[in-house]
Structure formats: C-alpha cells, structure tokens
A = this chain, B = another copy of it.
Amino acid sequence: MATRPSPRFSIIEVARKAGVSPATVSRAFNQPEIVHPDTLAHIRNVAKRAGFRPNRVGRSLRSGSTRTIGLILPTLSNPVFAECFEGAERRARESGYSVMLTATGYDPAVESAAVQGLMDHQVDGLILTVADVNKSATLDDLDSSGMPYVLVYNESSTHPFASVDNRAAASDMVAHLAALGHRRIALVTGPLTASDRARRRLMGARACAKKLGLETVQHIAMSSHTGSDADALKAALRGKQAPTALFCSNDLLATAVIADLVALGLSVPSDISVCGFDGMRFGALLTPPLTTVAQPSDGIGQTACSNLLAQIHGQPPQSNRLPHCIVVGGTAASVRR
C-alpha cells in the first residue's frame, strides 16, 4: 500500500499494452457496443489492471462538453437553498453530470465573478438565483453569452426559471391571516431593492388585502435578509394602528422576528401573529411551530436541473411554477377582539 507517485496512464499506454489503437480504447469506453466483444473485454481487462480511467479534462477539451453544471446560490446555511442544491445535484448526478457550487453570500460582486468563473470552466449550463431579475448585470452577461441557464426562486417573463408563484403564495397567506380575523397585516422583508421575490410577495399581499377589503399591507424593511432589526420592529408596532400580524418574507427572518418580539415582551401568537415563507423543515420544530408558505425547494432544484439539461440537449428554455402550500403552524392565531 505504498503511496506511489501515481504515473497516471493515458489512453495511449492502454492502447499499446492492449495492442490496439487509441481510438479503439476510446470507443471501448464511449461506445462499447460498436467494438468487438473480445477486443472490448481485453481492453477493459488491461485498463482495469493498469488502474486506467479516462481523463475527463482531455475528453472535455476535445468534445466541447464538460458534463458539468454550475450552481450559484446565496448561502447554503439557509436550508431552503441547501435543499434546492440537493434536488439539483441528485438530478444532475443521475444524468452523469457533476456540479460546481458557489455561495455568494448575497454579494453581487461574488455572484458576477462566479458566473464568469464557471463559464471559464466551460460548464455546460448554470442554475442560479439573482437578487433582481430586472437589473442584474450578471444576467445580462449570461444572456449575451449563449450559455444555457435556469433561474431558481426568481420569476420572469423573459428568462427561464423554476419557482413558486410568489404573488399567489403571498396572497394565499394574507387570505389565511384574514380568515383568522387580521385586518392590519405588515410584510417584513430585507432590503426590497435587493430581492425581486420580496417585491412580488408584497404585491401579492397587497392585492389580496385590497380584494378582501383589509387595510393596506404595511411594509417593514429590515437591513439584512435574514436578520431582524429590533428598532425598526419596535417603531412599526407603536400606536393604535399597529399590525396584528407580521408576514415575514422568509422563515429565517421569521424566527429572528419572533425572537425580537419575545425580547420586547410580546408573546406569539397571543399578542401578535407571525408567519414566514419558505417552509424550511426546522420551522415545524419550533414552539409553536411556524406558520409559513412552503415552497418545494428540492423540487425547484430538481426541476431547474431537468430543464437545464433539456436545454443543454437542444430543447428550448422552459419555465415552471411549482405549487406552494400554506403550512398552518401555531404562530398565527385568531386576532383578539
């Protein structure tokens, strides 16, 4: 079991040892059905003995395909994105594709560099989430590059994506809150300028409120995407017109908001209702369990990957809106009379 310096065989050595041409060895690995069974067995034997495995870099350069896709997500520490990755990676692996993954930490500079870097690596396609579909330099680059890609979580009429219908989902949650008797609802988000999803959710929430004759959904902006802002929260809760329900634009934010409310001496849901958006598994473990809008993140990843692979194989780009559902937990309750 000595650690030899690994004199990595090439297809040429194998060909010589097997007494055939390099082309035949190549065929033995790529189109075994067209080489003579005896030759095939012999080559496989020699290759195995020598510990030979085709070098994918050589193959990629020659064939023009790396059989690798790139994934660019804000952070894997948000279980929503982690699940999305798992769905996509599994699907990719099943099709013989590998995945390069970059976490941007919501930094547009990292995001843009990641796209460039993955393109330099000649990935066959890209799955990514951008802050805002409508003004993303990254996305413009991508469009003009001809590289196949699919967005996840974003929605757009001009770019392929896999996502829930954020407007409808937010609307459904507002309807749920309204059914509980809430008439003053606020949507809590991170910086709106940095998230087209948050904007869509706000639109959906407002549309529903209007339809149901509720007061306009207020908007409370936090400075970070997943962290709460105790001061902003306190300010928003002052006065007679304070909202009775806080609809947070993601689950992580909801947990942070709940923690802040508790620190403020409020109790959820008896003093105020809170709900989230995402449906991360951990929400169910909280006490009370988090009321939220569940997105099928694994499915979003899987679908995006399927669509991307289809594109890579020449199909036209395609978008999918996956079904969401309201998870009734215990953080949103009937409003007190």
A: which residues have CB within 8 A of B?
1, 3-6, 53-58, 60-61, 66, 68, 75-77, 79, 82-83, 85-86, 89-90, 93, 98-103, 110, 116-122, 140, 143-147, 255, 259, 281-282, 285-287
Contacts and interface: CB of A to CB of B under 8 A. Distances in A.
28 contacts: A1-B140, A3-B144, A4-B144, A4-B146, A53-B116, A53-B119, A53-B120, A56-B122, A57-B66, A58-B61, A68-B100, A76-B76, A76-B82, A76-B85, A76-B86, A77-B79, A77-B281, A79-B79, A89-B101, A89-B103, A93-B110, A98-B100, A99-B100, A100-B101, A101-B101, A259-B285, A285-B286, A287-B287
A117 B68 CA distance: 11
Contacts of A101: 85, 89, 99-101
Contacts of A147: 6
A142 to B, nearest CB: 10
A21 to B, nearest CB: 21
Contacts of A98: 100, 102, 117-118, 121
Contacts of A282: 282, 285
Nearest to A290: B285
A318 to B, nearest CB: 16
Nearest to A93: B102
Given A61-B58, A100-B68, A143-B3, A86 B93 contact: no
A66 B57 CA distance: 8
Contacts of A118: 98
Contacts of A55: 120, 122
A56 B285 contact: no
A201 B210 CA distance: 57
Contacts of A286: 285-287
A101 B103 CA distance: 12
Contacts of A120: 53-56
A1 B76 contact: no
A282 B282 CA distance: 7
A259 B75 CA distance: 28
Contact of A3 (B99, B146, B285): B146
Contacts of A259: 285
A5 B148 CA distance: 11
A90 to B, nearest CB: 7
A89 B102 contact: yes
Nearest to A89: B103
Contacts of A66: 57
